[in-house]
Chains A and B, each alone.
Chain A
Amino acid sequence: MLIFECPYCGVMADETDLAPGGEAHIKRYGPGSSDDEFESYLFARKNPKGVHFERWRHVSGCGKWFHAARDTVTLEVYATYSAQTLEPPKALLSAIKKKNPEWEGWS
């Protein structure tokens, strides 16, 4: 079972206490953007085999959304971090890179 530490309330939460929310850091497009941009915002997903940045909500706890870095092959949870950010923290990226030298990085 996946276990995440909620970055807001500090609880070690089981997968059953959380609701998955899909890919994180998707760039939003609003009025005035092209059809292609809007389509990619709505539907195109990275779906990586490996490191994935995603959103989770601590439903049976504090109720807040947070971000997590998780591996979709090993199911390892690297870290969780605040949802109030537009991209993953630099320190987290280098920690993941150190563990997985072959990982091509976040883009």
Chain B
Amino acid sequence: MRRYSAFAIAREGARYHQGWERAWKAPEPKKKYDVIIVGAGGHGLATAYYLGKNFGITNVAIIEKGWLGGGNTGRNTTIIRSNYLQDPSAAIYEKARSLYETMSQDLNYNVMFSPRGVMMLAQTQHEIRGYERTAYANALQGVKTEFISPQRVKDLVPIINIDGPRYPVLGALWQERGGTARHDAVAWGYARACSDMGMDIIQKCEVTGIQQSGGKVTGVATTKGDIACDKLAVVVAGHSGTLAEMAGFRLPIESVALQALVSEPIKPCMDVVVMANTVHGYMSQSDKGEMVIGGGADGFNNYTQRGSFHHAEETVRALVETFPIIGRLKMMRQWGGIVDMTGDRSPIISKTPLENCFINGGWGTGGFKSIPGSGWAMAELVAKGEPGPLAAAFGLDRFAEGRFIDESVAAGVAH
């Protein structure tokens, strides 16, 4: 693989950009792989990348029904933060956030990580207490966050209305090194690095069955024929339940639609990410100038990748009070993604009842920020067959044991 650099741009500029290579290959599947990963979204590709980088396992296929990064990786609002209350969550999200800091150099691909700061508004007395508690918990966990005053909020975000009347801003939980990244570039960067290590990324190939013998996984049936494998990693987010059904077990997961919308582009007016959990909305400004708005999730099972109109209305209605200047903005696009919600709103990185079959899912509405940490922990689980310290708390057995990682109370929506 030819590295991307300023020199490469100059070289190609001098010869009409004729020399750029394909970023990743488009191979036909082999008969057998050491590891097959189902799902070439951010989490699947990150799992493959760290399998190769940390454990030297490169005889890997990543199988994708659609195109790589075309699911929730291409549909989220790109927010990265790690200000979680529970220790296991803070550990894995902080690992992810710290890997984002150096991802562009690591992958030789500009993922445009922008640590512009993430602010979670406290708009009720209850939220103030909750966020102060989170700030103390984060101090103990080694995650740098602080609880800031309304005046500091106004200084950081001049366009905000802190006086209510319905939802006055009473303070905020501020994570200075949180931010955003270019979501597609994260998938593309991992894909290019995986392809360079000799892994096969097989797109437009749907898994239709999981083959097993004697309680062990032996391969998958796909629309491009049967492919054998020693180990199988299922990393398919919203479709986890469908794949689990094929493998013969049920998951504590339900799939619902979460939606987002984006406005027409305007001049730079807000250089941090603002989340308002009381009113179910969060907003940031993209590099193109669009206001990117995340909304609430529907309460019912849904696989349609579009959300209910009234949820978009609720989100915008609430945000207009907090950000009066967006009242006249036109919304350009609205879309939905299928998120896989667990009971405690924490993910599953786990062995399954089927031997050598591993699952990574249930990230719910917080998948993008966790991509590198999730891949790191999942690669360790797949390579060693046992979870490492990051993944240990996220096993499927926690539901039987009542050992929840309960983030749902703190952030049922914007999480």
Residues on A facing B (Cβ under 8 Å): 1-2, 15-16, 19-20, 22-23, 35-36, 39-40, 42-49, 52, 54, 70, 72-75
Contacts and interface: CB of A to CB of B under 8 A. Distances in A.
Contacts of A42: 343, 399
B400 interface: yes
A54 B255 CA distance: 14
A15 B255 contact: no
Interface in B114-166: none
Contacts of B225: none
A44 B303 CA distance: 18
Given A45-B253, A72-B301, 7 more contacts: A20-B300, A39-B399, A40-B250, A45-B251, A46-B250, A49-B239, A54-B301
Nearest to A73: B303
Of listed B251, B298, B301, B309, residue having the most chain A CB within 10 A: B301
Contacts of B343: 42-43
Q: Specify the main secondary structure of chain B where it touches its partner.
A: mixed
A22 B299 CA distance: 8
Interface string B292-310: 0000001111111000111
B398 to A, nearest CB: 10
Interface residues of B, number: 22
Contacts of B303: 49, 72-73
B241 interface: yes
A2 B310 CA distance: 11
Given A36-B400, A47-B241, A22 B308 contact: no
A97 to B, nearest CB: 19
30 contacts: A1-B308, A2-B300, A15-B308, A20-B299, A20-B300, A22-B254, A42-B399, A43-B343, A43-B399, A44-B252, A45-B241, A45-B250, A45-B251, A45-B252, A45-B253, A45-B254, A46-B241, A47-B251, A47-B253, A47-B254, A47-B255, A47-B301, A48-B241, A49-B239, A49-B241, A49-B242, A49-B255, A72-B255, A72-B303, A74-B304
Contact of B309 (A1, A43, A48): A1
Interface in B343-387: 343
Nearest to B241: A47
Interface in B289-332: 298-304, 308-310
Report, nearest first, the 8 A-B pairs whose CB atoms are least far apart: A43-B252, A47-B241, A20-B299, A20-B300, A44-B250, A39-B400, A43-B399, A72-B301
B179 to A, nearest CB: 33
Contact of B304 (A15, A45, A47, A73): A73
Contacts of A70: 300
A27 B148 CA distance: 48
Interface string B201-236: 000000000000000000000000000000000000
A70 B303 CA distance: 12
A1 B310 contact: yes
Nearest to B239: A49
A57 to B, nearest CB: 11
A23 B251 CA distance: 14
A2 to B, nearest CB: 8
Nearest to B250: A44
A42 to B, nearest CB: 7
A49 B256 CA distance: 11
Contacts of A72: 255, 301-304
Contacts of A74: 304
A39 B86 CA distance: 23
A52 B400 contact: no
A73 B302 CA distance: 7
B254 A54 contact: no
A6 to B, nearest CB: 16
Nearest to A52: B301
